[in-house]
Amino acid sequence: MSARPRLTHLAGLLPAAVMLCVIWGEYGGDPLASVLAGIFALAAMAVFSIGARPSRLAFVAIGLGLTVWAMLSHDDWLAGLAAAIRSGCLIVALFTALSAIRSAAITSQEILETGRFLARQPPGLRYLALTVGGHLFGLILLYGSIALLGSLATESAAREPDPEIRRHRTRRMLVAIQRGFAATLCWSPLGFSMALSTKLVAGANWNHVVLPCLGSAALLLLGGWALDTIFKPRLANPPPPRAPETGSWLVHLRPLLLLLAVVGTGVAILHALTGVEVVGAVMTLVPLTAIAWVFLQRLPSGAGALRHTGDRIAGFVLRELPGYRGEILLLFMAAFIGSLGAFLLVPLMARLGVDFSAVPPLAILIALIWIIPLTGQLGMNPILSVSLLIPLLPTPQAMGISPTVLIAAITGGWALSGVTSPFTASVLLAGSLGKVPPREAGLIWNGPYAAVMGVVLSVWVLLLAWLL
């Protein structure tokens, strides 16, 4: 093996080390853990930049430019730089942990059969089955749920001989999965949206925001189903009758529900026993669950389960993680640029006399729901836009609103960006599976949905502000 491929494979150790150091820091707050995580993360970014696409390298160049600006203009630039690196490390650590369980899921025959069962549902029930399935899968797999369920859905639709029915069925199935996944961004403790938002908003924590944000998710799920039902396409030739699916829902969904129960219960117990934040508990438990799951997948076949598990761990670290180098580079730089950009902009805006405390709090809440998806159309990852915007705003206490309401507005806007921005992984995956450009998979497929649900979420956030 030449030096460069060997370096790329070994680089998979770096994000894994970042995850372990961030977990260590979550429990003890040891400054050494933060320093080591930053060193490993910067080393990973340096290695992953080698041979990266120009679009990824543009983010690296912006990050370096902001670093030079901070060094030249701020005496406390080291503090701003350290905060930006910590923000990037958190995202890399969470991505690594969730990639581990995604790796375990794609080799589980039970999980694959659950996806096929959802895709086999008759037309009247298929959208609801796939959007709920996309939501449940998305809680564990993030946008990997779109890759997994979407591939099974398109596989099912490909068997339809009528091209018109096949085209509509593929689009509606992928849209259902997309919207189901996006709804997880409103409340899931495993998602980047909740992990970052609760870090940025003073006084916010997941325990307090989960119920109102579950309300946001329910609105997105039910709204998508209602719009699909109302605007169901009219076909030139009605589809032939289908035999009803006879499989038991409980039997087919049991593996996924059991996995969610194990992770949810484990996170709750770990949080209660140690006092660690929910994000730290998630990063601890999810990789351990993935390792146990890989072991159990092999166990029924006889001996060699331990060796198989060790080989899978090595394969994940040395092959799969380097394969995500583009995503890891982009996610780290988005968080880094947003945090350091906010560090530079806050004093600059103060000098220019820009004061958001003069803006009515309710206007800020509504604006967030719309600005986050709009910036997504300009190529700004929600991680970047939220990291940049939130530090510029007054604290919830200064605005006289509950932190929960601000989190609901942020995550609602993030969810809408997740179904419309042609630069997000979820839309890119849906477009690839549906064989359409990302702009079509985002704006054409989901633009009207986002417009309607933007109004619904705006009303919901205003109601929460009045109630809380």
Q: How many domains does the structure of the chain reveal?
A: 1
Q: Is residue 241 part of a domain?
A: no
Q: Long-range contacts: 37-43, Cβ < 8 Å, 24+? A: 37/86, 37/89, 37/93, 38/82, 38/85, 38/86, 38/89, 40/14, 40/15, 41/14, 41/15, 41/85, 41/88, 41/89, 41/92, 41/332, 42/85, 43/14
Q: Is residue 319 part of a domain?
A: yes
pLDDT tens column, 53-79: 998 899 999 999 999 999 999 999 999
Q: Taking the model in full, what pTM does it have?
A: 0.91
Q: Is residue 252 part of a domain?
A: yes
Those residues whose C-beta lies under 8 Å from the C-beta of residue 254, and which sit 6 or more positions away, are: none
For residue 64, how many C-alpha atoms fall within 13 Å in the half-sphere facing its CB? 10
pLDDT tens column, 403-444: 999 999 999 999 999 999 998 888 988 888 888 999 999 999
Cβ atoms within 10 Å, residue 295: 16
Q: Is residue 100 part of a domain?
A: yes
Q: Is residue 239 part of a domain?
A: no
Please state, for a pLDDT cut of 90, what percent of the chain lies above it: 54
Structure tokens at 112: 């694959």
Q: Is residue 166 part of a domain?
A: yes
Q: 366: part of which helix (H) or strand (E)?
A: helix 361-377
Angle between helix 278-298 and helix 305-315 axes, rounded to 10 deg: 130
pLDDT tens column, 205-258: 898 999 999 999 999 999 999 999 888 877 666 666 665 566 678 888 888 888
Of 302 and 382, the structure prediction assigns the larger pLDDT to 382
pLDDT tens column, 79-115: 999 999 999 999 999 999 989 988 888 888 888 888 8
Structural domain boundaries enclosing 131: 3-233+248-467
- The DSSP code sequence of 17-57 is HHHHHHHHHHHH--HHHHHHHHHHHHHHHHHHHTT--HHHH
Cα-based angle 357, 362, 366 (whole degrees, multiple of 5): 110
Structure tokens at 33: 């853990």
Judge whether 318 and 225 are in contact, CB under 8 Å.
Answer: no
Cα separation of 262 and 268, whole Å? 10
Q: Is residue 416 part of a domain?
A: yes
Q: Is residue 130 part of a domain?
A: yes
Judge whether 136 and 416 are in contact, CB under 8 Å.
Answer: no
Please state, for a pLDDT cut of 70, what percent of the chain lies above it: 94
